Structure 1
Amino acid sequence: MDSDTFIFCLEAVPNTEITTTTEVIKNLEQLAFEQGITSIYKTCDTIEGLEESLNALLYDDHNFKNYEIIYLVMPGERNTICLNDYYYSLEEIAELFEGKMKGKILHFANAKVLDLSPEEAQYFLDITGARAVSGYGAPSNTLTSCAIDKAFFSLFEEQDNVVDIVTELHEKHFALCQLLDFRLYY
C-alpha cells in the first residue's frame, strides 16, 4: 500500500451508542503509527448499519478507490455473520455488496469461520466484484487474529500480488497461519 491507500474496518458491536476501544482499534492505530497505513474504523450493530457505513464509504468518500482492504470484524458461524442476534449468509452479504467491491480484498477476522466451497467463493467474488476474500477456517474463542491480520495488511506495503502476499505471510508466520487456518479465495 502506498500512503494514499487505506483499510476500511467495520466491526460488529452490541450497541453503536456505547464507545469502547477494542483490540482492533488498537491494532489499526499501531499500523498507522508504525507503518503509516491509514484506516477508517466504523462500528455497526445491524445490517442496516453495515449497509449505511458501506454506502457512506462508497458515495461520500472520494478516496474510496484507494481503499484496498475492507476488514470485517464480525462474529458468525461458518459462512454467516451475526449482527444484533440475526444471522446473514455470505450470499446475502454478497448481494448487499453487489458490484461495489471491484478490485477490493474483503478480509474477515477470525471472529467467524470462513469456509467457502469453490462455487460459494466464485459466487461471492463474481457478485461483489472483489479481487479476493480472505479469513480463517479454525474457530478460536481465546485467540484473535489481530496479530496475523496486522502482518497481512503490512505486506501490502511491499507488494500488490495477493498470492505473493499470502505466500510471504505463510513463510513469515507459518505457525499462526496454520493454527488459525488462514484462507484466501481469489
Structure 2
Amino acid sequence: MELENFIYCLEAVPDVDRVETTEVVKILENMALTQEISSIYKACDTIEGLEQSLNFLLYDDHHFQDYEIIYLVLSGEANTILINGYYYSIEEIAELFEGKMKGKVIHFANLKVLDLTDEECQYFLDVTGARAISGYGFHSENMSSAYTLDRLFFSLFYENDDLREVVEQMFQKHYKLCKFLDFRLYY
C-alpha cells in the first residue's frame, strides 16, 4: 500500500464568500499531480474562521494524523499575522493551536516574516506540541516562496524525516534563494 503525503493549508483571504482560485490553490493542485502530495485547503477571513478551520481538521477530518505539515499562508509583520485588519501575535496563534499540533511541522509562507527569539520559539513549540516551526526572515511582494522553496521543503520532508537534512538539501539545491528569502527552521 502506498503511503500518502498530506498538507493542510490555511490561507487568509479578504472574503471567503467570494469564490476565486488563489495562486496557492493552483500550486497545491500542481503538487498533487506532480509530487504526489495531497492537500486540504481552507480559506479564512477572520480569526474565528481560522479557528473553525483548525477545529474542522482536528475533530472532523479522520485523516488528521496523516497531515504532518500545516501550511499557513497568512500575511503579517514580524511574529504577527494579519487577518481582516487585525494583528495577532505568535503567542496568540500558539494559544489558538494549544496542544493540537503534536508532532506537526507548522510552515509559514513568506507573506510574513518569521523571526523568533529562543523564548518565543520554545513557547510556541511547548504550547502547540508542534515538532517544528518554519518560515522566512524576508518578505518579498514580488517573490512568493510557494512557487519554489515551499514546494521543495514539502517534497524533501516527505522523502526524509530528518529536518536538519531537509534544510541542508534545500540549501544545496537553492542556496541563493534560501539565503535571499532567509529560510528558517525552529525546533
User: TM-score, normalised to structure 2's length?
Assistant: 0.97
* Cα separation, 1, equivalents of 2:57 and 2:178: 30
Q: Does structure 1 residue 14 correspond to structure 2 residue 10?
A: no
Q: Does structure 1 residue 181 correspond to structure 2 residue 179?
A: no
Residue of structure 1 equivalent to 2:150: 149
Secondary structure at the aligned position of 1:8 is classed as: strand
1:171 partner amino acid: Q
* Cα separation, 2, equivalents of 1:84 and 1:157: 33
Residue of structure 1 equivalent to 2:57: 57
User: Once the two structures are aligned, what percentage of the paired residues are identical?
Assistant: 64
* Cα separation, 2, equivalents of 1:132 and 1:144: 21
Deviations 1:125-183 (A, max 9, x none): 00000000000001211111112101111112311111111111111111110010000
Task: For residue 4 of structure 1, report the CA deviation from its aligned partner.
Answer: 2.7
* Cα separation, 2, equivalents of 1:165 and 1:29: 23
* Cα separation, 2, equivalents of 1:157 and 1:120: 27
* Cα separation, 2, equivalents of 1:79 and 1:6: 26
Residue of structure 2 equivalent to 1:110: 110
Residue of structure 2 equivalent to 1:96: 96
TM superposition outliers: structure 1 runs of 4+ over 4 Å: none
Task: For residue 5 of structure 1, report the CA deviation from its aligned partner.
Answer: 3.0
* Cα separation, 1, equivalents of 2:107 and 2:93: 13
2:5 partner amino acid: T
* Cα separation, 2, equivalents of 1:140 and 1:166: 21
Residue of structure 2 equivalent to 1:45: 45
Deviations 1:9-48 (A, max 9, x none): 0000000001211111111111100121100011000000
Native 8 Å contact 1:3 1:38 kept in 2: no
Deviations 1:44-77 (A, max 9, x none): 0000000000001000111101100000000000
Q: Give structure 2 stretches of 5+ with no counterpart.
A: none
* Cα separation, 2, equivalents of 1:180 and 1:11: 20
* Cα separation, 2, equivalents of 1:152 and 1:20: 26
Secondary structure at the aligned position of 1:178 is classed as: helix
1:167 partner amino acid: E
Secondary structure at the aligned position of 1:157 is classed as: helix
1:135 partner amino acid: G
* Cα separation, 1, equivalents of 2:157 and 2:116: 24
User: TM-score, normalised to structure 1's length?
Assistant: 0.97
Native 8 Å contact 1:125 1:132 kept in 2: yes
